Amino acid sequence: MLKREFASKEHAVRHFRRVLDDAPFPSYLPLGVSARKMNFAGVPCERLAPRKAGLTILHLHGGAFIGGKLGTYHPFCGAMARRLQAQVILPDYRLAPEHPFPAAPDDCLAVYRELINCGTDPADLVVSGDSAGGNLTLATLQCARAEGLPMPRCAVLISPGADLSGDAASWAENDRSDVMLSQNVIRMMGEVYLQGHDRSDPRGSPLRGEFEGLPPLLISASDEECLRDDAYAVAARARAAGTSARLLMRPDMPHAWPIFYPLVSEARADMKTITQFILNARH
């Protein structure tokens, strides 16, 4: 539904938003998990939580920086909430092109900062994100560390688009095998998001940022997706900086497959891997 050639960036934005908003994707919550709207640091959010919650998960949604509907994440984030007895905070951060870079990373950092200032124990805090949200997860961690904020327990990056400045080999190698994205779409959405801003700015391309002192990372990607090499590069940069990084790679999976928790058996299996990583993580 997403992958096609676009005549213009405006056409691409309209198409992506139509698909992301209208796709027939389940948006149910697991039994015992409720949702309510909240506001953190001026950013509208949803809070998914069971009756009792110990952990806090800040999940930053995907959508190529221009779309993404929070209800799409109810099954995946609701499952994490139930399995981990955690509250999951889903920020509805500002989107390009109406709100270009750095609106999205500013909003995500503001929510993270507010969670810390409200007394959330960093040892009980997790940051996760998929696709563009994986980019924002890494950027949030780097900016929070630079600001002197404490690091969370760990972070989960699902098919992160970590470098908008580069041209990874997998962009071209997997242009046909990736059933959702293409190298043309990745470049085009980067242009819509950055709108002329320096592509090497680590807040937009966090692969180029500093990895020292970051919490343990779990990074997933499909062998067939265009963003495969971003996952490998993030793991390599993290390990070179002394940061623990675990890769979760699968063949024959779509981009950001763990998010399709209700529909894909591999996603259900990998939910166990993700939740076990979070439970065992220590920073």
Q: Select from 95, 118, 119 the least CA-distant residue to 108.
A: 95
The count of other CB atoms within 10 Å of the CB of residue 195 is 12
Distances (CA, A) of 186 to 32, 128, 191, 276: 38, 21, 9, 31
HEC letters along 257-275: HHHCCCCCHHHHHHHHHHH
CA distance 281 to 276: 8
Cβ within 8 Å of residue 233, ≥6 positions away? 162, 163, 168, 207
* Separation of first and last alpha carbons in the chain: 40
Q: Which token pair is 21?
A: 């908003």
Task: Output the CA angle 76-81-83, nearest 5 degrees.
Answer: 95
Residue 217's DSSP bridge partners are 155, 245
Q: Is 244 helix (H, G, I), strand (E, B) or coil?
A: coil
Residue 87's DSSP bridge partners are 56
Q: Which residues are catalytic?
A: 131, 225, 255
By DSSP bridging, strand 86-91 and strand 43-49 are: antiparallel
Residue type, 150: P
